[in-house]
Amino acid sequence: MKNDLSKVRNIGISAHIDSGKTTLTERILFYTNRIHAIHDVKGKDGVGAVMDSMELEKERGITIASAATFCEWKDNEINIIDTPGHVDFTIEVERSLRVLDGAILVLCSVSGVQSQSITVDNQMKRYNVPCIAFINKCDRSGANPYRVITQLKEKLGHNPLALQIPVGLEDKHNGVIDLLTMKALYFDGKNGENIIEEDIPKELLDEATSKREELIETASLFSDELTEAILEEAEITPGLIIEAVRRGTIQRKLTPVLMGSAYKNKGVQPLLDAVSRYLPAPYDIQNDALDMDNNEKPVVLKSDSNEKTVALAFKLEDGHYGQLTYIRVYQGAIKKGDTVINTKNGRKVKIGRVVRMHAAEMEDIEMVPAGYIGALFGIECASGDTFTDPSINLSMLSMFVPAPVISLAVKPKDNKSQINMSKALSRFTKEDPTFKTHIDPETNETIIEGMGELHLEVYVERMFREYKAEVETGKPRVAYRETITQRAEYDYVHKKQTGGSGQYAKVMGFIEPIEDEHFIFENKVTGGRIPTNYIPACEKGFTLCMNKGPKMEYPVTGVKVTLTDGAFHAVDSSDMAFQTAARGAFIEAYLKAKPVIHEPIMKVEIETPTEFQGNCMGLINQRRGMILGSQDEGVMCRIEAQVPLSEMFGFSTILRSNTQGKAQFTMEFCMYKQVPQMVAEALIKAAQDEKKK
Amino acid sequence: MNENTLKLDNPLSQLGFETDSLITPGQMGAICARAGIGKTSFLVQIGLYAMARGQKVLHISLDEPVTKINIWYREMFNLMAPKNGITMINQAWDTIISNRLIMTLKLDGFSVPRLEERLADLIEQDIFKPDTLVVDGFPFEKCDRCLLKDLKILVEKMGMNVWFTVNTHRHEPPDQDGYPVQLTGMSDLFNTVIQLISEKKIVDLQILKGQVDSEKAASLFIDTDTMLISA
């Protein structure tokens, strides 16, 4: 480890599923001598790409858990997090972006900016991650990097800046022209490892010259030196352009665009050059932590190994070597033998083995300095926890974690599976904050909850593969909620006199619907009609009612409770009596307040060839979906819709069969909405039938 | 007409036209203004008032993405709702949202047969049968009378009315009939033409065509803080 921060890059590779990011990572590792052979993602050769270390990922050809790895390129140390592309796993993408300083946005030169790229881009914006774009698959039929550049501008609002132009496209794609040096680069050798620099072919010279002019003009906005050089007609060196582009990129005002074909080993080495040239070093980015002793006041962290340690655990993995905790050190250093504090629970943690990960392999190191990513052994924590020096109490900003929208009952097949399942669930819930589990007190079933059908499916398969836990699954259940639609009053007396000390409490007031809030309690009692020491008990009583609605026993949301009056008894009133009275009052008012059921609505985007547009819209219509619109994109079109999650089960199969497999879709949680009367009645009936059983 | 209606006080009803919608089925209307004056927000409000009446509105955009147009509608509705005594805004929005569909088409790929094909697709599959089309970003400068004439025939055939935005320029004086030059030779195809004029931070509505009773008409303007049409 060199510990020269200016040469450290913590980057992620984000993209739409199947844009080729795992292939690209594989090539990067090959050219940086981390691996010595190249394997396909889908594992045709039985080995599979190095970054897809989970068996399941190799089988499905998708990246699920982001493996962290590091490599060196021309003196630069690059830490790479390979992020999953499927929308069901976006918490992984978000967590990765939180710890990264920059990213490569991989785009397909045929499909261009797809729906997932937009989601990933939004996440990058949220965490202010500067990025460079790599237009991949230039060798594919229909490749058009210029169209993708336009889409980067129009759809994602970037300011794309092409640093290269392709030498030939589709099956004639031979290399790229570097607009900085005005040289054509070809990639020779079995794996494209020999870069051959030649003069630009005559037929491309004019285009290259005009694109270089565009490049210099755009870059000059970020550098006075470059502007001066242009005005004085002095020589414009690559160094001047690089500095200007770097400034623009770090400010997120420019997105340098490179191109090639990772699969055909073209254009990857210049991309690595671009990573070290344009993406920020750890100290270029401001990272804040919250001071827990000072009302969560933000504190700016310094990328200095001599300062007090602040590190974030961003990923947990249970692998062959035991539990592994991936950390990013923001300030100070994590050293072998050190003691740090886990801010969340105040527990002291002794650092044992410190390693640097290379996908599924690792190397032991003495410490992880500020700005670096590493992994620790034998640390008991959850992902998202902060480790600090014992003398400070800082927490990294909490990450936004959406609530689960779908659940599934899982039943182990035998006793051995039962034990293994518990182990697996305990691990998964620590690894992934969007994956939750609990035991249903009524049915005694284990329920797992997550962000989508595929999300849960993958965990069920992982239970089997990694923990040998065979489980049977029930039908996926949607996380319905209840709410009220009108104001209703309550006037409730709880009175009990059955020997011993009695119970007495009276509460009066009203409940009303609210939007955009879960629960509000307002106390308007005056004149001591209910002594103030009983008010928290009233609030607790009402809050407890929110867990299980009186209508369908779903969690209640969007209710404001106002307590206006009441009465107490000097001897018989107690906290318990007021809590019970509040519960009774809530049930009394709730049923008068026209309760309704809400269901999760997903934002669904379908990309389809235009000839299937009508079919796809029809499919959405059949699923109680609401089509927001359709966007024409040449031969393809994109349909945006909102569809109830309960109607989306098995949609991928149906979509494929209706579009000859040519359409694809993504979905993510959008909002909760009232279910139509007919559906509500069916839900009530189904619940009643189940109770009878 | 469907049951998804909402009571919204439509200031355009004070303009002295035959109907609140200013045009009837088969008719065409145009909103003319320079860039940045508020054509799109005006068009969106026309769309929202039609949606509130229970009419199905197909918003066709030739330059903006679906998400952006959706935000336009939502923002304008959020501003309109409190003025109409609506407190549960999300609930009210849900009532009328199914009355709207957004379609973005590529400028170079826009043609009447193609539009007809898309509309037929929507109607035949019972996905959406529009009563009103609102077209934003139509390239009047590049289009000929034929295209517009064909479009008029199409809307007459399908019983829809259609609104356009027309982008005018400061340096171009109106033609001899008083219409923006972009409509020269085509103004007869339009039944209603409204111009938005910005002067000293106020945007006024000028009716160039279609008004029945100008004496009883109130003068409307656009509130530049909210972009809402106001009396």
B88-109 pLDDT, tens digit each: 888 899 889 989 999 988 777 6
Determine, for residues A627 and B127 on separate chains, whether the beta-carbon distance falls below 8 Å.
yes
Window 131-190 of A, Cβ < 8 Å to B = 154-155
CA-nearest of A363, A368, A358, A320 to A25 is A358
Rounded to whole angstroms, the Cα distance separating B132 from B30 reads 13
Rounded to whole angstroms, the Cα distance separating A394 from A401 reads 20
B193 min Cα distance to partner chain A (Å): 27
For residue A142, the surrounding DSSP H or E stretch is none
Q: Does A514 touch chain B (CB under 8 A)?
A: no
In a domain, B2, yes or no: no
Q: From chain A, pick out residues whose CB is under 8 angstroms from the CB of B78.
A: none
In a domain, B5, yes or no: no
Q: Does A626 touch chain B (CB under 8 A)?
A: yes
Domain count, chain B: 1
A516 min Cα distance to partner chain B (Å): 9
Q: Does B79 touch chain A (CB under 8 A)?
A: no
Rounded to whole angstroms, the Cα distance separating A615 from A660 reads 11
User: Of the candidates B89, B90, B101, which has its C-beta nearest A629's C-beta?
Assistant: B101
Q: Does B94 touch chain A (CB under 8 A)?
A: yes
Determine, for residues B59 and A629 on separate chains, whether the beta-carbon distance falls below 8 Å.
yes
* pLDDT of B153 strictly over 60: yes
Query: Domains plus CATH for chain A?
Result: 5-284 (3.40.50.300), 288-396 (2.40.30.10), 406-478 (3.30.70.870), 486-593 (3.30.230.10), 599-679 (3.30.70.240)
**Does the CA dihedral A563-A567-A569-A570 come out positive or negative?**
positive
Let me know: does B193 contact B209? Beta carbons within 8 Å. yes
Residues 6+ apart with CB under 8 A from A685: none
Determine, for residues A629 and B69 on separate chains, whether the beta-carbon distance falls below 8 Å.
yes
Determine, for residues B67 and A627 on separate chains, whether the beta-carbon distance falls below 8 Å.
no
Determine, for residues B105 and A634 on separate chains, whether the beta-carbon distance falls below 8 Å.
no
B6 min Cα distance to partner chain A (Å): 17
Q: Which two tokens mark A104?
A: 């490569």
Q: Does A318 touch chain B (CB under 8 A)?
A: no
Q: Which two tokens mark A234?
A: 């002095």
Determine, for residues B103 and A632 on separate chains, whether the beta-carbon distance falls below 8 Å.
yes
Let me know: does B57 contact B100? Beta carbons within 8 Å. yes
Alpha helices of A160-251 — where are they, by DSSP H? 202-220, 224-231, 238-250
In a domain, B217, yes or no: yes
β-bridge mates for residue A257, sequence order: A133, A162
Determine, for residues A629 and B122 on separate chains, whether the beta-carbon distance falls below 8 Å.
no
Rounded to whole angstroms, the Cα distance separating A382 from A327 reads 11
In a domain, B171, yes or no: yes
**Searching chain A, which residue's CA lies closest to the CA of residue B63?**
A154
Let me know: does A553 contact A587? Beta carbons within 8 Å. no
CA-nearest of B48, B56, B58, B70 to B115 is B58
Cα–Cα distance list, B222 to A334, A500, A625, B37, B125 (Å): 61, 72, 35, 9, 39
Specify the DSSP class assigned to residue A556: B
Let me know: does B145 contact A636? Beta carbons within 8 Å. no
pLDDT tier, B72 (very low <50, low <70, confident <90, very high otherwise): very high
Q: Residue A112 has what pLDDT? A: 80
Rounded to whole angstroms, the Cα distance separating A11 from A277 reads 13
B213 min Cα distance to partner chain A (Å): 38
List chain A residues with pLDDT less than 70: 1-3, 16-19, 34-67, 82-96, 115-116, 119, 122-123, 318-321, 358-361, 397-402, 634, 693
User: Of the candidates B66, B91, B105, which has its C-beta nearest A628's C-beta?
Assistant: B66
Q: Residue A556 has what pLDDT? A: 92
Percent of chain A with pLDDT over 70: 88
- Please count the helices (runs of H) and the strands (runs of E) in chain B: 5, 9
> Could you tell me the pTM of the whole model?
0.63
In a domain, B163, yes or no: yes
For residue A50, the surrounding DSSP H or E stretch is none
Give residue A219's identity as a one-letter amino acid code.
A
Determine, for residues A614 and B67 on separate chains, whether the beta-carbon distance falls below 8 Å.
no
In a domain, B161, yes or no: yes
Alpha carbon of residue A644 to chain centroid: 21
Let me know: does B180 contact B141? Beta carbons within 8 Å. no
* CATH code of the domain covering residue B175: 3.40.50.300
Q: For chain A, what is the mean pLDDT?
A: 83
Alpha helices of A61-201 — where are they, by DSSP H? 90-99, 115-126, 145-154
CA-nearest of B9, B4, B8, B115 to B55 is B4
CA-nearest of A597, A591, A588 to A681 is A597
Global ipTM: 0.84
Q: Which of B4, B67, B78, B87 to mutate to test the interface with A (most CBs of A within 10 A)?
A: B67
Taking CB atoms and an 8 Å cut-off, how many pairs form between chains A and B? 64
Q: Does B69 touch chain A (CB under 8 A)?
A: yes
How many Cα atoms occupy the beta-carbon half-sphere of A181 within 13 Å? Answer: 10
A256 min Cα distance to partner chain B (Å): 24
* DSSP string across B78-133: HHHHHHTT---HHHHHHHHHTTEEEEE--STT--HHHHHHHHHHHHHTTS---SEE
Q: Which two tokens mark A551?
A: 């209508």
Q: Which two tokens mark A141?
A: 């039929």
Percent of chain B with pLDDT over 70: 98
CA-nearest of A269, A54, A260, A248 to A160 is A248
The range of the structural domain enclosing residue B166 comes to 11-230
